[in-house]
Amino acid sequence: MKLAATAPDRLSVRTVEVPDPGDLISRLPHPSALAWVRHGEGIVGWGEAARVTLPGGEDRFAEAARLLGELFGAAGVDDPVGVPGSGPVAFGGFGFDPKSPESVLIVPRQVLGRRGGRAWLTTIGEDPDPLALVRPPVPPSALSWSGGALTPQAWRGAVAAAVERIREGRLGKVVLARDLHVRAAEPIDARVLLRRLADRFPGCYAFSCAGLVGATPELLIRRTGGDVESLVLAGTTERGTDARDDAERAARLFGSAKDRQEHGYAARMVRDALAPLCSRLDVPDVPELLTLPNLIHLASPVRGRLDRDRSVLDVVAALHPTPAVCGTPTDTAMDLIRELEGMDRGRYAGPVGWVDARGDGEWGIALRCAEIDGTRARLFAGCGIVADSDPAAEFAEAQAKFGAMRQALEG
Ligand SMILES: C=C(O[C@@H]1C=C(C(=O)O)C=C[C@H]1O)C(=O)O
């Protein structure tokens, strides 16, 4: 665990209200983009006042909260705006598996925020021209795609093996993912991907943090003062070809015992994890349908009131990994993922988002995303597997989930 050499002993933080900056993503001055944007609102950041890298471990969320507490506690903060996301903020992404050494938090030198008709700019240290566009984004070109850890056939075999374990009664659900690789002629600019994702999926959270870029529909947890919200997703069908086909598919998804079982595991676990932390909790008995441009999901919107002051990271720690991305029972599913997927997920399917000095923040589950490393990117997609899952159908579902990032790369 270390603080980057760039971290000064004491952060000097100033937030000012600014006129509406318009589109946040187009304000990002260079490719080291930090972002969390939905329906044009949210925060974007750039520059690095501090970076915290964390090794694996079940305690990585608590360690992150402790280190940020020290950093923010020692900071000199002038924040007359005083809303969630003003003052010092850390963007972060945590490794999915506690054994994965991938977790990282970045405190940007500048954060631009926009919500509910207000906009603010936070600066750490000095910056002479905060909103200057330093390097315009360049779309990726000459993409060449290649397979990931498992061939399609091997991955379908892994799904079949998982179904067998489930039918033997060893677990109820496991989520299995695949990866895909792509290479571009020039370094891939996160801002281009953010722009395309935000335009096509305005209702998803377009995120970018230290090379992990995507647009997730799944809100793990939002804390605003004492209020918490989550949106549990599990159970999926592709969009239809027209309104009638859409309606038929939605009705089939809603009525599918397999998908309702898959969803029920996730919704119940979120309820059970939040109940001890909340004085009030509302989890619907029956899921809703969430319609995205490419997919329809079963969705349970959850709302609660925290019983005492807890940082959003404390709540993340209680929730991750939910059966939406791991399975149930958690430990058995995690072991099976390690055994069958043949890859390290890195930060895919881990919590991604931001936290401020008050402990407010928003964390999604890092889905529909890619890990960018210079000219290369690794895409991820997974599916919940239960006793009645069919390997070919799950493969098709994973292909559809890759679609969002593929399009963002291909334009
Ligand atoms: C695992 C992913 O998505 C998750 C799995 C879902 C499913 O199996 O139905 C639905 C939404 C997400 O919770 C992914 O997109 O990679």
Q: Side chain identity at 167, as an amino acid letter?
A: R
| Centre of ligand 1 from the C-alpha of residue 233, in Å | 7
Q: Give the mean model confidence (pLDDT) for residues 152-164.
A: 98
Q: Give the mean model confidence (pLDDT) for residues 231-253.
A: 97
pLDDT digits (tens, 9 = 90+) for 280-299: 999 999 999 999 999 999 99
The pocket around ligand 1, CB under 6 angstroms, is made up of: 175, 177, 218, 233-236, 297, 324-325, 367-368, 380-384, 401
Q: Give the mean model confidence (pLDDT) for residues 215-232.
A: 98
Beta strand extents in 97-256 (DSSP E only)? 103-107, 110-115, 118-124, 144-147, 173-183, 205-209, 212-216, 219-224, 227-238
Question: Out of 70, 99, 173, 401, which one is annotated catalytic?
Answer: 173
pLDDT at 128 over 70: no
pLDDT of residue 5: 38
pLDDT at 203 over 80: yes
- 189/372 Cα distance (integer angstroms): 9
| Centre of ligand 1 from the C-alpha of residue 297, in Å | 9
Write out the DSSP string of 22-51: --SGGG--SSS-EEEEETTEEEEEES-SEE
Q: Is the ipTM of this complex over 0.95?
A: yes
Residue ranges per structural domain of the chain:
2-126+142-410
Contact partners, residue 321, CB within 8 Å, separation at least 6: 96, 330, 334, 349, 350
Mutation probe of ligand 1 site: the residue of 401, 402, 405 with most atoms within 8 A of C-beta: 401
- 370/379 Cα distance (integer angstroms): 4
Which pLDDT band holds residue 129 (cuts at 50, 70, 90)? low
User: Is 99 designated active site?
Assistant: no
Say how far residue 193 (Cα) sits from the centre of its chain: 15
Mutation probe of ligand 1 site: the residue of 96, 155, 166, 175 with most atoms within 8 A of C-beta: 175
Say how far residue 45 (Cα) sits from the centre of its chain: 16
Q: Give the mean model confidence (pLDDT) for residues 321-327.
A: 97
**Ligand 1 atom closest to residue 259's alpha carbon, by position in its atom list:** 9
Give the architecture-level CATH label for domain 2-126+142-410. Answer: 4-Layer Sandwich (3.60)
Q: What is the pTM of this model?
A: 0.96
User: Is 173 designated active site?
Assistant: yes
pLDDT of residue 3: 45
Question: Residue-wise over 95-133: b if at least 16 C-beta within 10 A, else e?
Answer: bbbbebbbbbbbbbbbbbbbeeeebbbbbbeeeeebeee
